[in-house]
Structure 1
């Protein structure tokens, strides 16, 4: 029996073929239909010479085609490289070139950037449009009725992530990593055949992929999709489809709570709400629970940990403001700079060990060695543990900006700013934001005699990176603060009062 992640779909299809697997408004796809569609995708990839171990990009929004491509690639023994649909050409080229991807499935509405990147990376771009894709896939024979044999420690997915320096790194997640993490989510959130899970989290993101897609397919429930999150639409779908499991980032909860018609929707079916991706403000949690009469469980994880590492468990005490305790089979501790555990109540860095920890960073043994010490993954997140073993995050070691649950890496934005002919120096920093958690700010020093406006620089960056990344706030300085070696000291950057 294969250890392939695709067996979740195969097993659920065998168990209850006519049960709905995916829904998008009026469109419903059963497990049998999804199973067959992925067999045809495996046939298509085989015809293109793509097989076990080959990397294939998936640049699709939250539509049924994401699952069709995802499990089709896995079924053929390939490795999925999920990509944000908002990426621009220069970004897609990197995401395809770095892992040596042979092809990418790209949504028609965003195909231009994918085609530009694929051309540069030497990969084939398979355009997915609702009308023609079904016929295209059906023209290839169904293959891999039983998923191609893969070992548990073979790579299933490469999820790109990054610290604050250099280019993004691809976290290699194995079939065992992904399977066991999804099964942990099944247990945490009670995902069975009666589960109706709201697929509002992006499926290219580890949280949406593991806890949304894979957990639902493993449990045999239905995933009802929202291609682009909008609070009113989410509330409408909860009412319409009788959603009982909702997973989201804090900004989603805030948007739903603050929707002008929040009280007019019937959300009484909601049983479990899970929050991750960023810290959940305690007041927001209280307000949401009062309004919608449900319990929010907050957890923690990273792309490198598949992602779930800890959670407030439904059968244990929940502590507001805490990321809970480690999931089964996972160890977490808080360590000092020497890697030694600190006492309860003291602040240190979270280290994680267990079945959820990645194999390593794709092609980056140096970066892997920096973060993996004796089997422990060093997260860069600072936390403390209370006397009951509950973890509380206090700060980030890295300069990573989390804007509305999305990671923004300052170095990447700085690189683009430096390409502007008027820019001498730039530093991108996080700024507090009441709704998004953090906003992207940029302090810029111009070259002597050069001129540029805030709007010009914003537009320049916006043209080259995904829309959530560009700095909403730009201000000009004569000089950026520096240390003795000439390194820019971000902690000493002063934000003008007007900003």
Structure 2
């Protein structure tokens, strides 16, 4: 994937973490097409910090700010072309949807090449004059100590991290936290309820995608929060639920989540066909199926490409996954479709038990049977120690499907 991104982007300089340089070797990285490889060790950081600005360039709002590559959960990564205007408009919409002051302290435990971290953990606090405390990796004890020692008021993380904080942190250790935002992957309701019960803070789920710089919607900080919902569209961002032709469906009906706004990308770098397919009637196709209720709250049903068709019936993996996450012994779950001679496809479940717990396949099936229609029940159940994830904590189902 690194090689594909470098060749596709035409990058001439690679800035590399020492661990990556050690794993691959600078010469191997240079062989991928870049003219220069900079290993960012302590000495390099010092030189950069002490140096004078060597380039001065006036940029416009429509100039390209970044080419951010999608996580490639369904295929090869695509480079979303984002301008300064795309990023700033998303930041301004976020500012209008919450209250942030220069006294706030953000915690960044997410990789900063990811659009969620870049916009919400870097650009947003910079815009507001707030502080960002950056941790190199998510280590539970270090993270909890940092929240306490640095008087963190805003936490931005992905669901698995909140599951760990739920077990590791004591209620008083998060007393200064005003808002905890979950994004990057669906937030299981069980984690939401347990977290809000233990920590009396604003715990809200949001939604976004790289192609939208990335935040599209969020549950209100002050106002009604609907568990299981990704909230309402941010100010100045339009969202509809549409059919295949991009026509808006009725309230409460399931369709594709379509987005429009100044935060939306210009296209995919060097891939006009994919860029054309990403839009319908001027709306960005998210690839996520969802519905909108009468109050304007959006609920994700599932990824369009993850829907399992069993004997002609649509089965949404997330429905099964949400049930599995409610089981007291299950830490993580993923559901995919596998080929079946008579039904076309059938669900297959992958499960990671909680630490110190053991669970039997028969127990899992017995747990699901009263809660699901017969055709939705998994025909295969596999128990594992871990599931493949990307750097942002999203489970990579494509690798499960390739096995």
**If the length of structure 2 is used for normalisation, what is the TM-score?**
0.75
Alignment check: 8 A CA contact 1:200 1:228 kept: yes
Instruction: State whether structure 2 residue 114 is matched by structure 1 residue 205.
Output: yes
Alignment check: 8 A CA contact 1:235 1:265 kept: no
Where do residues 14-25 of structure 1 align in structure 2 (5 Å cutoff)? none
Q: 1:319 aligns with which of 208, 226, 242?
A: 226
Task: Provide the residue aligned with 1:279 in structure 2.
Answer: 186
Alignment check: 8 A CA contact 2:290 2:302 kept: yes
2:305 alignment partner, SS class: coil
Alignment check: 8 A CA contact 2:105 2:151 kept: yes
Task: Provide the residue aligned with 1:438 in structure 2.
Answer: 334
1 CA distance for matches of 2:166 and 2:219? 21
2 CA distance for matches of 1:264 and 1:354? 39
Alignment check: 8 A CA contact 2:246 2:281 kept: no
Alignment check: 8 A CA contact 2:12 2:36 kept: yes
Instruction: State whether structure 2 residue 54 is matched by structure 1 residue 143.
Output: yes
Where do residues 453-472 of structure 1 align in structure 2 (5 Å cutoff)? none
Alignment check: 8 A CA contact 1:102 1:124 kept: yes
1:98 alignment partner, SS class: helix
User: Residue 311 and residue 231 in structure 1: after superposition, are their counterparts in 2 closer, same or farther (change >3 A)?
Assistant: same
Alignment check: 8 A CA contact 1:300 1:310 kept: yes
User: Residue 263 and residue 221 in structure 1: after superposition, are their counterparts in 2 closer, same or farther (change >3 A)?
Assistant: same
Structure 1 residue 437: Cα displacement:
4.7
1 CA distance for matches of 2:188 and 2:32? 43
Alignment check: 8 A CA contact 2:207 2:217 kept: yes
Moved more, 105-114 or 245-254: 105-114
C-alpha RMSD of the superposition = 2.7
Alignment length (residue pairs): 328
Structure 1 residue 265: Cα displacement:
4.8
Task: Provide the residue aligned with 1:110 in structure 2.
Answer: 20
2 CA distance for matches of 1:389 and 1:441? 31
Task: Provide the residue aligned with 1:351 in structure 2.
Answer: 258
Structure 1 residue 357: Cα displacement:
0.7
Per-residue Cα deviation, 1:339-386 (whole angstroms, up to 9, x for no partner): 211111110000000011111000000000111123210111000111
Per-residue Cα deviation, 1:299-338 (whole angstroms, up to 9, x for no partner): 1110111010011122332211111111111100001122
Where do residues 380-419 of structure 1 align in structure 2 (5 Å cutoff)? 380-399=287-306
1 CA distance for matches of 2:133 and 2:2? 28
Structure 1 residue 440: Cα displacement:
8.9
Alignment check: 8 A CA contact 2:96 2:235 kept: no
Task: Provide the residue aligned with 2:278 in structure 1.
Answer: 371
Q: 1:100 aligns with which of 10, 32, 52?
A: 10
Instruction: State whether structure 2 residue 101 is matched by structure 1 residue 192.
Output: yes
Where do residues 85-96 of structure 1 align in structure 2 (5 Å cutoff)? 91-96=1-6
Structure 1 residue 238: Cα displacement:
0.9
Instruction: State whether structure 2 residue 148 is matched by structure 1 residue 232.
Output: no
1:382 alignment partner, SS class: strand
Per-residue Cα deviation, 1:4-58 (whole angstroms, up to 9, x for no partner): xxxxxxxxxxxxxxxxxxxxxxxxxxxxxxxxxxxxxxxxxxxxxxxxxxxxxxx
User: Residue 393 and residue 201 in structure 1: after superposition, are their counterparts in 2 closer, same or farther (change >3 A)?
Assistant: same
Alignment check: 8 A CA contact 1:312 1:323 kept: yes
Structure 1 residue 496: Cα displacement:
5.0
Alignment check: 8 A CA contact 2:243 2:255 kept: yes
Structure 1 residue 272: Cα displacement:
1.0
User: Residue 238 and residue 136 in structure 1: after superposition, are their counterparts in 2 closer, same or farther (change >3 A)?
Assistant: closer
Q: 2:209 aligns with which of 302, 308, 316?
A: 302
1 CA distance for matches of 2:25 and 2:268? 23
1 CA distance for matches of 2:249 and 2:238? 15
Alignment check: 8 A CA contact 1:196 1:241 kept: yes
Per-residue Cα deviation, 1:78-134 (whole angstroms, up to 9, x for no partner): xxxxxxxxxxxxx32222111000101111222143732332223311111013431
Per-residue Cα deviation, 1:169-217 (whole angstroms, up to 9, x for no partner): 1011111111121233334343321010011122111111100011111
1 CA distance for matches of 2:198 and 2:157? 16
Alignment check: 8 A CA contact 2:179 2:203 kept: yes
2 CA distance for matches of 1:162 and 1:318? 28
User: Residue 275 and residue 189 in structure 1: after superposition, are their counterparts in 2 closer, same or farther (change >3 A)?
Assistant: farther
Structure 1 residue 290: Cα displacement:
1.9
Task: Provide the residue aligned with 2:360 in structure 1.
Answer: none
Task: Provide the residue aligned with 1:48 in structure 2.
Answer: none
1 CA distance for matches of 2:161 and 2:224? 24
Task: Provide the residue aligned with 1:155 in structure 2.
Answer: 64
Structure 1 residue 268: Cα displacement:
1.0
Task: Provide the residue aligned with 2:349 in structure 1.
Answer: none
2 CA distance for matches of 1:297 and 1:368? 31
Which structure 1 residue ranges, 5 or more long, are not aligned?
1-90, 401-429, 444-490
Q: 1:495 aligns with which of 357, 362, 380?
A: 380
